[in-house]
Amino acid sequence: MVNAEVLQIKVAQGAKPGEGGQLPGGKVNQLIARLRHAVPGVTLISPPPHHDIYSIEDLAQLIFDLKQVNPDAQVSVKLVSEPGIGTIATGVAKAYADLITVSGYDGGTAASPLTSIKHAGSPWELGLPEVHQALRINGLRDKIRLQTDGGLKTGLDVVKAAILGAESFGFGTAPMVALGCKYLRICHLNNCATGVATQDDFLRGEHFRGTVDMVKNYFRFIAEEVRELMAMLGVRKLTDLIGRTDLLEALEGNTASQRKLDLTPLLANDFVPADAPQFCKVSRNVPHDPGAKNQEVLAALKDAIENRSGGEFDFTITNCDRSVAALTSGAIAKRYGDEGLEDAPITARFTGVAGQSFGVWNARGLNLYLEGDANDYVGKGMNGGSIVIVPPKVSQFESHKTAIVGNTCLYGATGGTLFAAGMAGERFAVRNSGATAVIEGAGDHCCEYMTGGLVCVLGETGVNFGAGMTGGFAYVLDEERTFVDKYNHELVEIHRINTEVMEAYRRHLREMIEAYVAATGSARGAEILEDFSDYARHFWLVKPKAASLGSLLDQSRRQPE
């Protein structure tokens, strides 16, 4: 992430808007499973919604998170061509994205359902001019790049897209065809006859004949055709072509229905100021929030990072301080890679109320301690280290009945530890892929789409626990005997841990709670340990049906912290 030039938030795909995607278990080999922190042979579900994006403000927060961890990268947001996309794109620009992609229905892989391609998506030619006009009307066109994709194949497509407002062009299907794809529409079956869309080493070795030069030649001819068409139009630079809708002519159409179409709204809009810019004129869409606390933390920890000297540092924090420590994690990852500072850990202690995304993208060797509470997205995407959150010393609340972190915490985490002495909000540990967490209660949809890691809940949970969970496991304390009605029965099953055959899990749970109490001083955790033999009978072990009960502990120990 820290070495990327462009980071794209794929809100949807033009060929199958609103559907998400699935990677069939047959294609999830050892390599794919390792890269995606999942279990080999188990289908991977990409849910249609992003569970950390339910409003334009949430999207703005994710853009800010990405810009903090990698200040040099451009952040792109991919939208589907649909009615009203102009309004959405305006919000994306105001959320400080650097690039907007308008995706049409005509591209996409051959694994996209035909019903979606034919009935759900729409052409980029309809969405692109709406976005271009909306950005010009709102005075935002000069701050953001506009890209389009979805079936672009020729230089003529590029020229038309530029005239309708694009300055960047995405190609997917055509380069694959140049590499040998025959468009057999069996990508999801893992038996591609040309070796392009398969994980089968035999098919790749036997049938794939693609080379880099094939793709280079394709794009060379595209560029040549674009230059010829621009010369015919009398245009010297591509930027001079952007928005020049006067160069397009609307055809009358061959049928009665076609002749009724009024295409003038695609070519002109009376509300667009004549002097409004036609293309982006800045390299980055800089947020108004400079991330002052992040700068302060990095400045304080810089010498310890460069010299690998470790140490402890103290800071105050307010709820205006967002994505705290993301800049530091990015600096650690940039310098030391995935291993981080495990041999020279740094501890940063905070006092106060943390804003959104505390500890987002946390790197290995960076340990965060917060006395107070935090908002949404704590530990989102964390890769290692630890995050410990405890209530203020003067707090009189019972921790297991009081929220201490917000919604969607630990989303997409791949490693590390989170101990929070209180309740979490909804969607805790969604798509957790390797982190270990102990909390004292959770809202709805806990452990949804989880593929790895371990979660221990020492209190009440909401409904729909473990929906889409294909890896990892969880311990849940169920004193009220209501959990049977709260977990999602489709992919997971539950077991009591107070039987003789579950002795190893019982011991493991006790060790987890002991570590949690040592880190947080939790009164709730101490109470459970004091009478553990009685509390043990109230705990459930939650695991995927496809996982072996005997291998869960071995898998959890193999996962890097």
SS (H, E, C) 263-281: CHHHHCCCCCCCCCCCCCC
Q: Is the pLDDT of residue 115 over 80?
A: no
Instruction: Give the strand pairing for 99-103 and 74-80.
Output: parallel
Average pLDDT over residues 108-124: 73
Q: Is the pLDDT of residue 116 over 80?
A: no
User: Which tokens belong to 222?
Assistant: 């595209």
User: Which tokens belong to 505?
Assistant: 């899990």
pLDDT band at 111 (very low <50, low <70, confident <90, very high): low
Other residues' Cβ atoms within 10 Å of the Cβ of residue 476: 25
Question: What are the pLDDT digits (tens) for 338-368?
Answer: 999 999 999 999 999 999 999 999 999 999 9
Rounded to whole angstroms, the Cα distance separating 477 from 525 reads 11
Q: Is the pLDDT of residue 109 over 90?
A: no
Q: Is the pLDDT of residue 94 over 50?
A: yes
Instruction: Give the strand pairing for 366-374 and 168-169.
Output: unpaired
Straight-line distance from the first to the last Cα atom of the chain, in angstroms, rounded to the nearest whole number: 19
Q: Candidates 2.40.50.140, 2.160.20.60, 3.30.70.100, 3.40.50.2000; correct CATH number of 376-558?
A: 2.160.20.60
pLDDT band at 231 (very low <50, low <70, confident <90, very high): very high
Residue 91's H or E segment, with its range, is: helix 85-94
Mean pLDDT of the chain: 92
Question: What are the pLDDT digits (tens) for 472-512?
Answer: 999 999 999 999 999 999 999 999 999 999 999 999 999 99
Higher local confidence (pLDDT), 550 or 172: 172
Nearby residues of 547 by Cβ (< 8 Å), 6 or more positions away:
39, 471, 473
pLDDT band at 244 (very low <50, low <70, confident <90, very high): very high
Q: What is the pLDDT of residue 108?
A: 64
Rounded to whole angstroms, the Cα distance separating 72 from 3 reads 9
- What is the b/e burial string over 287-305, where b = at least 16 CB atoms within 10 angstroms of the residue's CB? eebebebbeebbebbeebb
- CA proximity to 125, closest of 91, 97, 89, 162: 162
User: Which tokens belong to 9?
Assistant: 């938030």
Domain regions of the chain by residue span: 6-173, 292-354, 376-558
* Secondary structure letter of residue 42 according to DSSP: S
Contact of 383 with 340, CB cutoff 8 Å: yes
pTM above 0.85, yes or no: yes
SS (H, E, C) 422-469: CECCCCCCCCCEEEEEEECCCCCCCCCCCEEEEEEECCCCCCCECCCC
Other residues' Cβ atoms within 10 Å of the Cβ of residue 316: 11
What backbone phi and psi angles, to 5 degrees, belong to 402?
A: -130, 130
Class of domain 6-173: alpha beta
pLDDT band at 561 (very low <50, low <70, confident <90, very high): very low
DSSP 374-441: E-TTTTTT--SSEEEEE--TT--S-GGGSB-S-SSTTTT--S-EEEESSB--SSTTTT-EEEEEEES-
Question: What are the pLDDT digits (tens) for 157-213?
Answer: 999 999 999 999 999 889 999 999 998 888 888 889 999 988 888 999 999 999 999
Q: What is the pLDDT of residue 406?
A: 97
Q: Is the pLDDT of residue 55 over 80?
A: yes
Average pLDDT over residues 36-57: 82
Q: Is the pLDDT of residue 559 over 60?
A: no
Average pLDDT over residues 388-400: 93
Average pLDDT over residues 211-229: 97
Q: If you compute the radius of gyration of the chain from its CA atoms, what whole number of angstroms results?
A: 26
Q: Which amino acid is it at 115?
A: T
Burial of 540 (0-12, 13-18, 19+ CB in 10 A): buried
Q: What is the pLDDT of residue 246?
A: 93
pLDDT band at 227 (very low <50, low <70, confident <90, very high): very high
Q: Is the pLDDT of residue 557 over 70?
A: no
Q: Is the pLDDT of residue 130 over 50?
A: yes
Q: What is the pLDDT of residue 443?
A: 97
pLDDT band at 435 (very low <50, low <70, confident <90, very high): very high
- CA proximity to 325, closest of 362, 292, 299: 362
